[in-house]
Structures are given as structure tokens and as C-alpha cells.
């Protein structure tokens, strides 16, 4: 685990990665791509899903039972296997609920909620009625879990341009009368509920947490038909206004903003324009998301979609849907052009924590860190941490310890 702070100017190391024995090339390591599935996206999703186990959101046997059923990249098998598991868990939860077995019901509802979302994480038939049905089922199960378990969460609807953004406000049971707030922005594929591992880290340290589905994400995309936009400050600044008006327990001078994956690209833009952000956490850092994806796509710009490799064709379709443009490489490339923060990074003045990993699939965190002129720290998760993969997949407990010790210190909760 390596860190570098612009304030000290010295390299620091909690552990020495050079002394770690890395598995030989002929041996397959769990953190390598394609450990569970040859489809890199599915492999990462499975690792993320397993990583939610410590928070009661999944169970090992249930997840591995689905993994055993998968047939390569077959989409319908993925969707139907997770939906069948979610149905069984929801039926169990509802039966326990009817018989006043609230502990069992709350536990089963929580996992059912996760598995309904899992079915939608790899589902490209955007007009299929199951897209909305499973999203509603997931939200309903999660809300029932909150009600029965007493978990300190409240579902919220944040007004947004004639519609709303769904989210949750988590109250820390360890908070003072006025306490810091951490706002969490998910990535392109995960939902607000999937960031609970982050929220747990905040709540245990006396920090309130607000997580949400922005345009292009989760429920906001599938039910409210809201698509991504590059000027993300237009999303988060109204959200902060809403939170400060509704929740008087928030210390308005102590607001942190964290982004995961694509969210890690989006949040520096907010910090550049909204000076209420005291601390920005990018996981990982990235100067230009658009530039990286465009470089992949332009090599195939002259080929029809039908001739593209399956994974690339699915990527184009997914981007087109989430950005609200026609399903073509040309239109997706055009939509991604504005996703470049190069011109506004010098306007980020708040302290910024840049996360990275030796197993990251996006290699933009270090250049992003170097480009910042604000107080900053670079935190690299190496192999010895077991949290070296993209957004610490598979190492959420370790990640929480290192990340939140730093967040708590900077928000006065250390």
C-alpha cells in the first residue's frame, strides 16, 4: 500500500509491495481478469457480487450456484439465473414476513434486492418489460429490509428537472448533533444500493452518508429514463441543496464527495464548480473518460456493429442507451467527446484523495493526481492489500479501513 501526499512531498509505504511474492504466470490468481468467466465484465461483476457478502447482501453458496449455471457470455442465462434466485429469496422473505419472523425476512429481502439488481447488470434488451419489473422489485425488497431491520436508512427522492433521482440518506448512529456528510456517486453499472460497503465505513465513523442514482444510473435510467450528462455539477449541486434543507443534522462545512469507477471521473467536475465540497475522493482518478473509450472504439469505426466482437458490440449498445444516443459507434464517440476534465482540473481547490490499484483496468489515476494543483494524496492498493483490482473489488473490507481512516481525519472524525 503506497501513498503520496503533496503536503509532505515524501513517499510513504504501509507495506512493501516489492517483498510480495506474486503468483507465477502459469497459476491463475483470483484478482486476474477472467478468473470466474472469460467475459471480463461478467468476471468483474461476479467478484463485486461476492465482495458484498460481509454486508449481508449476498451469500457465497447462492452466488456460486448461479456462477455454475452460466454459459460463457450468454445474456439470457445470466438474467434468468439471477432472477430465479431473487424470486426464491423474495418468496422466503415474504413468508417470514407474514409469520412475523422479522430477522429472517429482513435478511432474505436484502439478498433478494441484490439479486434482482444483479440480473440487470448484464441485460441489453432495454425494451424488455423485465428491465423495469426487476428494478421495482429490487427497490421494494430493499425498502422492506430497511423497515424490518431498523437499519438507519431513509429512501429519498431528489427533485431533478421535472423528475427525481432516487437515493438513500443513511444516518450515522455515532454522529454528533451536527456531523459530516459523504455523498457517494456510483459507476456506470452499479446502483446506489451497491455502494453500501462505502456507507458502512462512513456510518461507523460518525459520518452521515447519501447515495443516489444519477442520470444514466440504476433506477433513474430504467424507470425515469434519465441519461448521462457531462456537466455533473448540475446533478450534485441541487442534491446538496436538497440534503441541507431536508436534513438539519448535516454539518454544511463538512461535505465530502466520492465517486466510484465512472463516478470517479464525474466528481472532480463537481468539486471544480461547487466550493461546498471540502474533500473529493476519486476511485480511481481519471482525467478523460471519453478519450479512453473513444480510443478503443475508433479502431472499429468503419465496421458495421454486427461485425464487432460480442463484448465490444455490447459495450457500444450500453453506452448508446445510457447516453441517450443512437446505437452506432459514430454517435457514441460524439456523445463521449465532452467527457474530458482537462480544462477544469485547475479549478479543483479542495483536498482530493486519488485512489488507484496495481490491478486497475483504467490507468489514469496517476496522471490525474499529477495534474491536480490542490492539496492531494495518492493511495495505491497493491497485491499485498488484496484490494488492487478496479474500485477495490474483492477487497472492500481492506479498502474501507484505509480509505476511511483518511476521510475521517480530514472531516474531523479521526
The three cell numbers locating residue 278: 471540502
Q: Please give the Cα distance from 153 to 204 (Å, whole number).
A: 14
pLDDT of 6 reads 57
The DSSP-derived string for 304-329 is -GGGS-HHHHHHHHHHHHHHT--SSH
Angle between helices 102-120 and 75-98 (to 10 degrees): 160
Average pLDDT score over residue span 134-140: 98
Give the pLDDT mean for 42-58. 96
Arithmetic mean of pLDDT over the chain:
92
CATH architecture for the domain at 152-287+341-414: 3-Layer(aba) Sandwich (3.40)
Residue 196 vs residue 9, higher pLDDT: 196
pLDDT for the residue 306: 84
Higher pLDDT, 413 or 186: 186
Domain ranges of the chain: 32-151, 152-287+341-414
Q: What is the pTM of this model?
A: 0.93
Residue 281: C-alpha distances to residues 64, 322, 392 (Å): 32, 24, 14
On the CB side of 414, how many CA atoms lie within 13 Å of its CA?
11
Task: Give the residue from 290, 95, 94 showing the smallest Cα distance to 188.
Answer: 290
| pLDDT digit string, tens, across residues 255-290 | 999 999 999 999 999 999 999 999 999 999 999 998
What secondary structure, in 3-state letters, does 141-189 show?
HHHHHHHHHCCCEEEEEEEECCEEEEEEEECCCCCCCCEEEEEEECCCC
Residue 268 cell numbers, joined: 472532480
Provide the sign of the torsion angle of the four alpha carbons 72, 74, 79, 85, taken in this order.
Answer: negative
Q: Please count the other Cβ atoms lying within 10 Å of the Cβ belonging to residue 18.
A: 8
What pLDDT, in 10s, does the model give residues 235-249? 999 999 999 999 999
How does strand 2-5 pair with strand 376-381?
antiparallel
- CATH class entry, domain 32-151: mainly alpha
Position 24 pLDDT exceeds 50: no
pLDDT of residue 26: 61
For 213-238, write each residue's pLDDT tens digit. Answer: 999 999 999 999 999 999 999 999 99
In this structure, the dihedral spanned by the alpha carbons of residues 5, 11, 14 and 19, taken in order and rounded to 10 degrees, is 150
Amino acid at each position: 500500500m503506497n501513498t503520496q501526499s503533496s503536503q509532505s512531498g515524501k513517499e510513504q509505504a504501509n507495506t512493501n509491495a516489492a517483498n510480495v511474492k506474486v503468483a507465477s504466470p502459469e497459476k491463475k490468481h483470483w484478482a486476474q481478469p477472467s478468473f470466474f468467466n472469460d467475459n471480463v465484465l461478467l468476471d468483474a461483476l461476479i467478484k463485486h457480487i461476492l465482495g458484498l457478502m460481509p454486508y449481508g447482501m449476498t451469500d457465497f453458496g447462492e452466488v456460486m450456484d448461479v456462477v455454475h449455471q452460466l454459459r460463457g457470455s450468454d445474456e439470457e442465462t445470466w438474467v434468468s439465473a439471477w432472477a430465479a434466485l431473487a424470486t426464491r429469496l423474495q418468496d422466503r422473505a415474504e413468508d417470514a414476513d407474514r409469520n412475523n419472523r422479522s430477522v429472517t425476512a429482513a435478511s432474505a429481502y436484502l439478498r433478494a434486492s441484490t439479486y434482482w439488481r444483479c440480473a440487470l447488470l448484464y441485460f441489453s434488451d432495454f425494451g424488455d418489460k423485465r428491465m423495469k419489473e426487476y428494478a421495482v422489485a429490487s427497490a421494494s425488497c430493499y425498502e422492506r429490509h430497511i423497515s424490518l431491520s431498523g437499519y438507519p436508512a431513509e429512501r429519498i427522492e431528489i427533485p431533478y428537472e421535472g423528475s427525481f433521482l432516487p437515493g438513500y440518506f443513511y444516518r450515522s448512529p455515532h454522529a454528533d448533533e451536527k456531523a459530516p456528510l459523504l455523498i457517494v456517486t456510483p459507476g456506470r453499472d452499479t446502483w446506489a444500493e451497491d455502494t453500501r460497503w462505502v456507507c458502512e465505513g462512513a456510518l461507523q465513523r460518525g459520518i452521515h452518508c447519501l447515495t443516489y442514482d444519477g442520470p444514466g444510473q440504476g433506477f433513474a435510467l430504467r424507470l425515469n429514463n434519465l441519461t448521462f450528462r457531462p456537466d455533473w455539477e448540475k446533478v450534485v449541486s441541487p442534491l446538496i441543496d436538497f440534503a441541507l434543507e431536508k436534513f438539519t443534522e448535516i454539518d454544511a462545512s463538512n461535505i465530502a464527495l466520492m465517486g466510484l469507477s465512472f463516478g470517479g471521473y464525474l466528481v472532480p467536475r463537481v468539486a471544480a464548480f461547487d466550493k461546498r465540497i471540502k474533500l473529493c475522493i476519486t476511485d480511481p482518478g481519471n482525467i478523460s473518460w471519453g478519450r479512453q473509450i473513444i480510443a478503443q472504439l475508433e479502431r472499429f469505426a468503419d465496421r458495421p456493429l454486427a461485425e464487432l466482437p460480442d463484448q465490444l458490440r455490447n459495450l457500444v449498445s450500453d453506452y448508446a442507451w445510457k447516453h441517450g444516443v443512437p446505437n452506432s459507434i459514430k454517435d457514441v464517440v460524439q456523445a463521449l467527446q465532452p467527457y474530458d476534465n482537462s480544462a477544469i482540473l485547475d479549478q479543483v481547490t479542495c483536498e482530493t484523495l486519488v485512489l488507484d490499484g496495481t490491478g486497475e483496468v483504467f490507468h489514469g489515476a496517476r496522471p490525474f493526481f499529477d495534474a491536480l494543483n490542490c492539496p492531494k494524496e495518492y493511495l495505491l492498493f497493491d497485491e499485498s492489500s488484496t484490494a488492487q483490482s478496479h474500485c477495490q473489488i474483492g477487497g472492500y473490507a481492506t479498502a474501507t479501513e484505509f480509505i476511511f481512516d483518511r476521510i475521517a481525519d480530514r472531516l474531523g472524525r479521526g
